[in-house]
Every structure is written in C-alpha cells, then in structure tokens.
Structure 1
Amino acid sequence: MARAVAEALEGDTPLLVEAGTGTGKSFAYLVPAVLRAVHHGERVVVSTATLALQRQILTKDLPAVAGALEGALPRRAEVALLKGWHNYACKHKVSGGYPDEAPTLFEVEAPAEHPGADADEGLGAQVVRVREWVGTTETGDRDELVPGVSDRAWRQVSVTKMDCIGQRCPMLAECFPERAKNAAREADVVVTNHAMLGIAASGSPGVLPEHDALVVDEAHELTSRSRSAATAELSGPSVERMSRMVRRHAGVLVPELEECGARLAAAIIAVPAGRLPDGLTPALQEVVTLLAAACREALSLTKPSGGGAKDGGDGGLQMARSALTLGVEIADRLLSDNVAQRRDVLWCDERSDGSKRLFVAPLEVAGLVAENLFTDHSVVLTSATLRIGGQFTPAAHDVGLHDASAYRELEVPAPFDYARQAIRYVASSLPAPAAGGGGPEALAEIVALLEASRGGCLGLFSSRRAAERAAEHVRETTDLPVMCQGEDSIGELVRAFREDPEASLFGTLSLWQGVDVAGLTNRLVIIDRIPFPRPDDPVVQARSEVAAKRGANAFLAVSAAHAALLLAQGAGRLIRSTSDRGVVAILDSRISTARYGSFLLRSLPPMWPTTNGEIARSALRRLAEEATQVPAAADA
C-alpha cells in the first residue's frame, strides 16, 4: 500500500485502497506523504471522518512516522491541524466584541452535547469554566477542553467563519483560528476533517490551504459529509430570528422581512411532509421571492459604510449580515430550476411538535467532489470498507470517477484469519423483521445468544426504539447487565463495556462505526436487521429515480449499496486484533433468502458461515468460559 500511495502522490491518477482493520493503513499513507512533502515541498492534506482517528494521527501516528524518517529527511516534517472556524474560541467574543449568546439562524431544539461534557454541570458553570480556559489555552481548540461543554455553552465563546469580522478585529493578532490557518499554510502535512472537505467541495476551496496532494481516510464517509455541507434549511422561526437579529444588532427595520417569518411558516405548514419533486408550491414561491428581496434590501441598509447601520468592527452587525447573506443564498437556490432539473432535492420535514422546515440538498455530489477537491491534485482514497458488493466501482462513481481507466484500485486484506477467528451466524429461521424492531422470536434469539455468551455483546440496531426494546427485554428475562445508547455519553458507555466482560451495549448508528473494543469483552456482535435507508428518505427516492433512468437496478445502486456499507462497518466491530474471536449474529433472515442477500454478503469479512443457532451458541459458551477466566488468571 505504501508503494502504491507513493506512486499516486507522484502522478495524477487517483488511487482507491481498501485496507482492512489491522493493516496499519495510516502508516502506509503517512510515510510516503511525509517523504513527498518534505523532499519535494508539496503540501499534503490528510482528512479523516472521526475525531478518534484525527487524534490518533496527530498524537501517535505522525510523531512515530516523523521519528522513524528522521535520518531520511533533511529536516523534520512540519504538521498542522485545521478545523472549522467554530471549533476554536474567539477572544474578541470573550472580551465582549459580540452580543451574548444568540440562537444561530438554524438552531436545533436541543443541541447535542459535545463528547465529554458533564451532563450534571449547569450552563452557567460551563460558561464560566470555558471562559477561564480561553485565558490559558494555547490553541483555543474545543477538543482540548476537558471535560467538554455543551454546544450552547461553546457558542458563548466561538463564532462561525461568516460571523467573524476578519481584518477589522482588534484582536486579530491573537486569533486562534487565524493562527491555525496560518500554521496550515506553512505546514508540510495538514490534518483536517471531512466537514472541511465538504465545505471545499461545495465551492469554498479557500477553507483549505494550497496543497498538492489529498489523502482521504475513512473515504466511505466523504460523499455523505459533502452532501451534508451542501444541504440548506429554511423555516418560519429561522427567518423570524434573522429579523430580530437585524433589528437588534444592525438597528434596521425592514417591514417585508418582518412579515416573511409568519408568512413562510403558514405556507410551509400547508405542505405535506415529504419530498417536493416539482419544487416550491405557488404560496412558497411567493414568500421565498419576497424573502430574497427583503434580505437584499436589508443587506444594502446594513452596509458598514452607511445606510443607517452601525459602523466598524461590530460583531453583532456582522452576525446580522451573515444571516442575511445566508438567507439570500438559500432563497436563490430554492427559486432556481435546480429541483426541476433534478440537481437538487427539496423536501418538507415535520418535527415532533408539528412545526415544519424546508430542506434542499444536492442530488449527487460526485461532480462537486471531483471538480473542487480532485482537480490538479494527487488523490488517495482509503477505508476499511471501500468496496461495495466486492467492487470499487460504486465508491468511485460516488466521487466522480466514472471511467475505470481513470483511477487505480488496491485491496489490502486485514491480517486476520476470519474463517478461524469468527463465525457469521444468520438466523435464517426467523421471520422477516417488522418496522420498529424484531418480534418476539427475534427477542428470544437475542436472549439465547446473550445467555450463551454471558454478555460481552455489542448490539447494533436499526432504530433507537428497537435498541431500547431489546435492552428492556434482556433486563427483564436475564440477570445480565445491559447498557443502552442515550443512558450516558458514547465514550463512557464504550469504556464501561470494555471494562466489564459480562456487560452488553446496545445502540444505533453511532455504534456501527468507530467503536474499537478488542478482546473477549467484545465476543458477540448482534445486528438486528439489514440497515436499509428509509424508503421515504427524499434523497434516496430521488437518487433511485435517477439510477432507474440510467438503466441501473435502483434498489441495488442506492438502498442495497447503503446497507452493504453499514453491514461491513457493523460486522467489522468484532475482530480488531489477531487474537480476537467471536460471533457476528445477523437476525434478518432476508440476507439468506432474498436475491440481494449474496450482494450484501460479499461486502462482509470472510467469516465462517452458518445458519445453525446451536453452533453459534456453543461457540459463545466456550468463549464465555474463557472470558470469565481471564481476570482470575491475571490475579494469579
């Protein structure tokens, strides 16, 4: 892999590498990347999807590589970390240069807690603590604040790039994100994340420093992150907040803008939830047109040079103008022919409280990724699960590489003997699972497997309801400890699972990827059902229509491909080292009875297959005995 990466960095042919868990793929791309960057003066950007891998690269892998290559380099490699603007504290905001925390234009009802945040610590205490930390930190990087704080508390000390007053800031010389950006401009290797790549792919390439090569780890996440970055939202409450922001911080009253929030809310509430394949309704068309004009008028009136607005580097004014600019961009996008031309997907989403919002997202991001990320760069894409159905073609098409001769592909198998280390058990006798979780037969199968293994189970479920239902049933019918996602932070749940050989952990999507628990404490992985996307998902519907028009099998190209990727990620949670052993139990009988089952199975590690439940349970009983003997042996 290292040789293939080195060749890719020297040329202009993209390389796709599937490198299984345990291959050391980060070393395989970092060694040639560092050599190329230092010897040839060509900056390399390395992007990851998860915070855990980003930390691993920065704190462990890159220092190890730099040390190992010290004798082969004329100087030590310079490394920099680059994140989005809002991940850094803003000293100007802390010193009073911005108004107190105001809701963002599209604030969610209940902001998610940052990993590590103390759920028992009140907002006021968090704000005091984070402000004190800003006075001592060298980087201002949120992830260096331990314990973390909630999103709401963090907004008290941070701003987005759009809200930043830039060169007018009186504390520009001390600006944390500017320091990070300047360091990235001078570094040999820049480590960033897929969210930044998504912003660059959406048409803002300036968020990344000038570079010659791009290495994308966890590349299976690139298209979804790029689509998320290009997705826009509009609602009545968001426009009302924008109006208040303009009135409060810019001192400007635009009557048409004041009216738009209520009119938009009324027009949206009349629209049924779901996809709007024909674009805006006449009522929405009228109010969005008015919104675009009102935002442009407000922008004209709030120019810092005059028009009745405040002058100078006022943070509140900048926040108001940023919201107006975003409003214009979203309105113009909704009024364009992108939906009619099937370039964008538009849908109405209904919340649990009955309120509704409009969303618009690109149908495909392949062109954006290929044009804005790959053009004029050497490119390496790698992941433990890059092939779908045993082929690289779907992943290549997703990033705009449609010609097989235009890229190279390489499979680097994991150093595991899957057929000896793991059993893949498909419960083919179970009825097909119903929506919302398995029936009584599936719950009985879960209990039988857990009793045989005496815990040590990572349960991967298709919905939170299914996970909670299964956890409740296991607690009622056994004496085994079971934790469920939502009962604590993911980090704490995984730590407790790792430390207790009889504990089990049930959850949803957050556990399907990124959980790394080696050893017999993780000897059973249960997958309750094939993780197909929701059939009413607007983007899935639109992509399926396009695939069908191209003559492809729409189900295999979109829904089955999505499921295959997640199945591979989920099954990959079991074997994490050469000494690991265990069982992956799939409780969805369709994988052995449906025609698409073989396509899905080709994406999974080559574990020893069986549909005999007693074989799986017997193996788990033996592993349970070993797991309970390990502490005793250690004490002796």
Structure 2
Amino acid sequence: MPDDLLDSADKTDLPDVSALLAAAVSGVGGAERPGQVKMAEAVAHAIGSGEHLAVQAGTGTGKSLAYLVPAVRHAVDAGPAGEGHSCVVVSTATIALQRQLIDRDLPRLSDSLTPLLGREPAFAILKGRRNYLCRHRLQTDAPEDPEEILFDAQAVSAAGRQVQRIHEWAETTETGDRDELVPGVSEQAWRSVSVSARECLGAQRCPFGTECFAERARDEAGEADIVVTNHALLAIDALEDFQVLPDHDVAIIDEAHELVDRVTSVATAELSAQAVEITARRCGRLIEDDLADRLKEAGEALQPMLAEMHAGRMDVLPEAVGFSLVSIRDAAYACATALRTNLKGSEDDAERLGAGRAALTSLEEIHDTAVRFLEAFKGDLASRHDVVWLDKPFSEDSRRPTALKVAPLGVGALLRERLFRQRTTVLTSATLSLGGSFEPLARQWGLPPLDAPDEKDVLETDSDKADKQPIKWSGLDVGSPFDHARSGILYIARGLPTPGRDGLPEAYLTELSELIGAAGGRTLGLFSSMRAAKQAAEELRGRFSQPLLCQGEDSTSQLVKRFAEDDATCLFGTLSLWQGVDVPGPSLRLVVIDRIPFPRPDDPLSSARQRAIGARGGNGFMAVAATNAALLLAQGAGRLLRSMTDRGVVAILDPRLATARYGSFLRASLPPFWTTYDSETVKGALRRLDTSD
C-alpha cells in the first residue's frame, strides 16, 4: 500500500475522544468525571464542525485534559509534526498554568496516548521574544542606557547586581526563558539582556543566530502538535502584520475570563516626556546632533504641559498639547529617516547595528504613538475608537513618570476579525457565565448574540457584516464536581451600612473580626483596594490572636505559602489574590469580600466604555461595571472550594448584593452556595468547622 494511503488509513483508525480521554485519566491515576467527558466531547465537536465554543468548567472538573485530549487527537490526525500541518495553540493568562501544561499535563498525556495514537505527540511553549535571553545583547552589553539618569545610584547598583546574576545564570540555562530565573529580576535589569522582535538583528545577521534561545523556541514550536503560549502573544499575533505564532487552525483559550484585559493591555500605548528624552539620547551618537536635540527639546516642551493637567480621561485635546505631539511626531520621523540612512552599510558591524535597531525601534514607537494620540481625537465622541487619559503617579517620589495613555474602546472587533474569523476557537474558564448567561463576556469578545440580536451593548459593529458569514458559537456549562450547597455558605451582610469612600466603616471591622474569631483564623480577605486591605490589617491586629499577613509585606507567593502552611493565619490583599490563590484544605475556611468590586467611577477606560454603550441606547453600567464586578466576585468566591473535602463560608460585607436592583445579576454569577443573611448562623457554622478541624 502506498505511504499516503497508509497514512490516510491510520488517521481514520484513531480512537475516538472518549476512549482517549479514558486512557488519559487512567494514566494520571484519576477517575472519570461526567463534566470532563461532556466538555471533551463538546470540544471535539467544535473542532470538527468549526463552530466556536465557550465552556465553563468549575474547579475540579479536569478541564485541561478535557481540551488537551481532543486537541492532541486533531493535531495527530492532521499528520506528522513539522511537515506543514497546522498545530493547535493553547493560550493561558498565567505563568502557573503554562508551567502546569508543559511540565505536568502534556508529558503525562503523551505517555498515556502515544500507544493509542501510533506516534508521540510533540508539544512546545512559545513566548514573546522579550521573554528570552539575547546572547548578542549579553555579550556586547546593552547600548548605553540613558534610562539610568532617571534612577538613583542605589537603584542602578541593585540593577547591576541583578545583571551579574543573569550572566551567571546564562552559563547554565538551556532555554534562556526569563521565568526560569528564580528569584526574578527587575524589568530594568532584564531589558538590558533582551530584545524585542523589532530590535532583533535577525538570525542571519546576528553572530549568535545559531545559538539564539528565541529562535530555538520558535523552531520547536514549528515542529509541535500543541503550542502553549500566553494571551499577550496571542494578541500580538492578531495585532501585528507579521506572523508570530506557528500556523494553527484551532485556538484553545484557557483562563478566557482574562482575555479582554490582556488584549487591551497589549493594545495600550503611552507617551511621556522622559520616554522622548531617553529615545533622543539613545540615537544621539548615531545621527546628527541637531536632529537628536530637536527631538529632546520636543519632549522637554511636553513635560510642563502634562504637569499642569489633571489626571484622568481626556475628551478634548488641549491645543498646546496637540502642537507638542505634532512636534514630537515630526522630530521622531526625521530622526528615524536619518538613522535608517546612517545604518546602511553597517550589516557587518553587529554592535553598531544592534544599537541602531534599538534606537530605531524606540523612534518608531514614539512616532506611531504620537500619531495615534492625534488620530484619537478626530470626529465626535460617538465615532472614536480609542480612549485617551493622563496618568500621574500617586506620589512625587514615584519612579513612574507622568504619561499620556491610549487604549482601544473595545477589542471585540479585533478578536472577531483576527481570531474568530480565522480559526476555530474554544474559550474556557471556571468563570464565563455571568448572571446565568455567556452573553456578557461574549459581547466583549465580539461574538454575536445567541438569541434575539441586540447590539446596543456591543462597542463595535461590523460595517460590512452583511457580506460575511455569520459567526456561529455555542455556550456550555459542564458544572462542577463540588456540591456547593452542602459544602459552602454564602453570607451577605444585609444589615451592614452601604460602603462609602472614607475607608472601611467600624461596623465592617467589627463584623470581620467576629467572623475571623469564629473561624479560628483561616481567612482570606479580598479587598477592593490596597488602602482598604491595609486599613483592615492595621486595625484588626490586636483584636484577635491569629497571625495576620497583608499583601505588600512580602512577595505574594511567599505570603500565600505562609498562609497555606499555618491553619490559623489570615491573609489580606487585593486584586491578584482574587484570582491567584489556590489553597485547598483546612488553612482556608473563610473568604471575606469587603465590597462589590465595581471599577472606580473615574477609571478612564471603564467610564468611556460605559458612556459609549449608553450613547447607543444600551445599559453601560450593566454591560461594563456590573459585568466586571460579577466576574471578580465569582473569581473571589471560587477561592473557597479547591478540593472535594473543602468546607467553609464566603462572606460579602456589602449589603448592596442583597438590596440593589443589580444584586440578582451578581448573585446569579456566584457558585450555588446555600445563602443566608444571618450573621449568627454563619458564625456558628464557622465555630463547628473550627472544632472539627
């Protein structure tokens, strides 16, 4: 039989997804879970039909195997790795999940499935070029970095020690991956030994091209069936005109609840007087002095203007700032033009070429960002696509400069055209259904309504959508193996006062202290601001005997470790703890949330999005503020049950969850705990749990 017919016959003989999943679960010593089976079958159907899928899978479902098994089967069915077939890209939001997939899930899955698939599936991890050590930058040293003028001697010295540690690590690392350098180093230190895609000389020109860590990672990804990456690189692949990720016909987005924020972050740009000055100094030795001085002076002229302005969203561009942006744009263009001319003939001088590419990248970023700011104010408010605001540091001694920032009003149009119309996409998370529906997040992703079309709450619409095939997608909630109603209590403190802006009321502190006392410590306090977390920590220390840790007193990872190791310890903190804590067992019996985590009323991006939706006749508050709050509440409440034996209470001190009109939407977004408004019932339950432990 000819080889091509043999290959075809092998493909059709692959076991179905249910058989492969059973083998995978057995291989890891697990037990079959109905939700996992249902999810795997749905993912396989989506891949086969081309219909996009949003699937919510609660903690403990085993969703990683549920999407990896059909993904591996599809990739193997497409043909041998590295022979031109499309791979499957798996995108995550966190380093922890990337490492879990690469170090644990995929190796074990490969061992279990290879005998059934007929070959060993290949997998790789791929990140942005900045995440890899650059051997050329390491050997030639970074171009003289004018950023050091902004830092004091102690900071520069600390960065120097970190760079030295990077040099020592470079002698042993096999991947050059920044995440393998533990403990980590500052952004300033790392940037001195890494390059962006635009700064890179290219493998052919670089004297270290054959040893390049980033190129090696790209080559491995090109040979893989499954490529694990992050939302940021996925966004860059969609935003840029050049290809970043290998060819892929399926994208699986885990931690999809963070997709919009991560894509928005990648699409956000900023401009400060310091950045312009640094860029002018960086190209100063490579072009004529008068051109570099012109750019430097343009940046200096911007500084006093920004200093006099109030922080916050800008709906109108001040005329003087507009003139300054034009000057910066034109000066950056002139410098870049001269630099390109001066770099001609430098192909054999890698050091000069490297410095030139770094300077040119900075110039192009300054120019393009200035252009974007000027374009952002054209037309009336309803027709604009970007939001501009002035960001100022909270204190005068902050190293963060005053900067103009610009971000897209929404990323749905981008995702719709560059992701959903290009390849089959599966979006999954433990939290996707808000208020009992997938549509609040689907709107933000750019997916059309499932039922009666109503795009009032969508920030962008397709001007030519009538000429395109409709995007088909479905939503599926496979539930959770946890019995929430028997394992957890949701306590809403309906009797407390409505939270204000002047810190935590005394009634909140008293309630919190009594709840912690009843639980015997074992409390994760999730606060809407660091100010509130610190206030609670300072005022409650001394009211009970249990140890109390507060975010900011040590690295977050060390605080979580100490919290998990001592049953009596409490941990207070803000945003990263709402989504980043996984502490099963008796160390966590009580999760307290101080208030509904609505965006700040003066948040530039959130307020602009609400206004834009309202202008279209939609409900901006529900589509933006309430949706974001529901997502965070669900994530925070999800910290309680992390294993089948966990028990405890989620206490929300904000009475608006019970009394406000939007409360039903928020409550419907939470896990189905047994709910009570009675404080004494909850404290009694916590005391019984404490005694049983």
TM-score range, shorter chain: over 0.9
> Structure 1 residue 309: deviation in Å?
8.7
Query: In the alignment, is the contact (CA less than 8 A) between 1:436 and 1:466 conserved in 2?
Result: no
Q: 1:493 to 1:339 in 2, by over 3 A?
A: farther
What SS does the corresponding residue of 1:303 show, helix, strand or coil? helix
> What corresponds to 1:156 in structure 2?
192
Query: In the alignment, is the contact (CA less than 8 A) between 2:141 and 2:192 conserved in 1?
Result: no
For residue 210 of structure 1, the aligned residue among 240, 247, 250 is 247
Code of the residue aligned with 1:515 in structure 2: it is: V
For residue 276 of structure 1, the aligned residue among 305, 314, 317 is 314
> What corresponds to 2:305 in structure 1?
267
Tell me whether 1:500 sits opposite 2:537 in the alignment. Answer: no
Query: In the alignment, is the contact (CA less than 8 A) between 1:547 and 1:553 conserved in 2?
Result: yes
Runs of 5+ unmatched residues, structure 2: 1-38, 80-85, 452-471
Tell me whether 1:491 sits opposite 2:557 in the alignment. Answer: yes
> Structure 1 residue 186: deviation in Å?
1.5
> Structure 1 residue 46: deviation in Å?
0.1
Query: In the alignment, is the contact (CA less than 8 A) between 1:202 and 1:226 conserved in 2?
Result: no
Once the two structures are superposed, residues 479-533 of structure 1 have per-residue CA deviations (whole angstroms, 9 ceiling, x without a partner) of 1100000011111111111110000100000100021000111000000000000
Once the two structures are superposed, residues 436-478 of structure 1 have per-residue CA deviations (whole angstroms, 9 ceiling, x without a partner) of 5321000001100011111000000011111111111221212
Moved more, 182-191 or 431-440: 431-440
Distance 2:221 2:325 in 1: 40
Moved more, 194-203 or 614-623: 194-203
Code of the residue aligned with 2:223 in structure 1: it is: E
Once the two structures are superposed, residues 580-601 of structure 1 have per-residue CA deviations (whole angstroms, 9 ceiling, x without a partner) of 0000000001111111111100
Once the two structures are superposed, residues 50-106 of structure 1 have per-residue CA deviations (whole angstroms, 9 ceiling, x without a partner) of 11111111111111221221122121111110011111111111111532555399x
Query: In the alignment, is the contact (CA less than 8 A) between 1:251 and 1:308 conserved in 2?
Result: no
> What corresponds to 1:631 in structure 2?
none
> What corresponds to 1:345 in structure 2?
387
Tell me whether 1:180 sits opposite 2:180 in the alignment. Answer: no
Percent sequence identity over aligned pairs: 49
Once the two structures are superposed, residues 524-579 of structure 1 have per-residue CA deviations (whole angstroms, 9 ceiling, x without a partner) of 00000000001111111111112112222221111011100000000000001111
Distance 1:437 1:575 in 2: 29
Query: In the alignment, is the contact (CA less than 8 A) between 1:250 and 1:320 conserved in 2?
Result: no
> What corresponds to 2:525 in structure 1?
459
Distance 2:129 2:524 in 1: 36
Query: In the alignment, is the contact (CA less than 8 A) between 1:436 and 1:463 conserved in 2?
Result: no
Query: In the alignment, is the contact (CA less than 8 A) between 1:272 and 1:348 conserved in 2?
Result: yes
> What corresponds to 2:207 in structure 1?
170
Distance 1:425 1:250 in 2: 66
Q: How does 1:503-542 map to 2 (within 5 A)?
A: 503-542=569-608
Q: 1:316 to 1:449 in 2, by over 3 A?
A: same
Q: TM-score, normalised by structure 2?
A: 0.86
Distance 1:389 1:552 in 2: 17
For residue 257 of structure 1, the aligned residue among 295, 301, 310 is 295
> What corresponds to 2:97 in structure 1?
53
Q: 1:337 to 1:450 in 2, by over 3 A?
A: closer
Query: In the alignment, is the contact (CA less than 8 A) between 2:272 and 2:403 conserved in 1?
Result: yes
> What corresponds to 2:497 in structure 1?
431
> Structure 1 residue 124: deviation in Å?
3.8
Q: TM-score, normalised by structure 1?
A: 0.93
> Structure 1 residue 11: deviation in Å?
2.5
Code of the residue aligned with 1:297 in structure 2: it is: A
Query: In the alignment, is the contact (CA less than 8 A) between 1:100 and 1:156 conserved in 2?
Result: no
For residue 224 of structure 1, the aligned residue among 230, 237, 261 is 261
For residue 649 of structure 2, the aligned residue among 572, 583, 590 is 583
Q: How does 1:121-520 map to 2 (within 5 A)?
A: 122-166=158-202, 167-204=204-241, 206-248=243-285, 252-254=289-291, 255-278=293-316, 280-303=317-340, 312-313=349-350, 314=352, 315-337=354-376, 340=379, 341-353=383-395, 356-404=402-450, 406-435=472-501, 437-520=503-586
What SS does the corresponding residue of 2:541 show, helix, strand or coil? helix
The number of residue pairs the alignment matches comes to: 617
Distance 1:109 1:221 in 2: 36
What SS does the corresponding residue of 2:320 show, helix, strand or coil? helix
> Structure 1 residue 203: deviation in Å?
3.1
> Structure 1 residue 269: deviation in Å?
2.5
Distance 1:481 1:335 in 2: 53
Query: In the alignment, is the contact (CA less than 8 A) between 2:439 and 2:449 conserved in 1?
Result: no
Distance 1:423 1:357 in 2: 45
> What corresponds to 1:65 in structure 2?
109
Distance 1:625 1:369 in 2: 51
Code of the residue aligned with 2:224 in structure 1: it is: A
Q: 1:544 to 1:506 in 2, by over 3 A?
A: same
Distance 1:225 1:131 in 2: 31
Code of the residue aligned with 1:364 in structure 2: it is: G
Q: CA-atom RMSD, angstroms?
A: 2.3
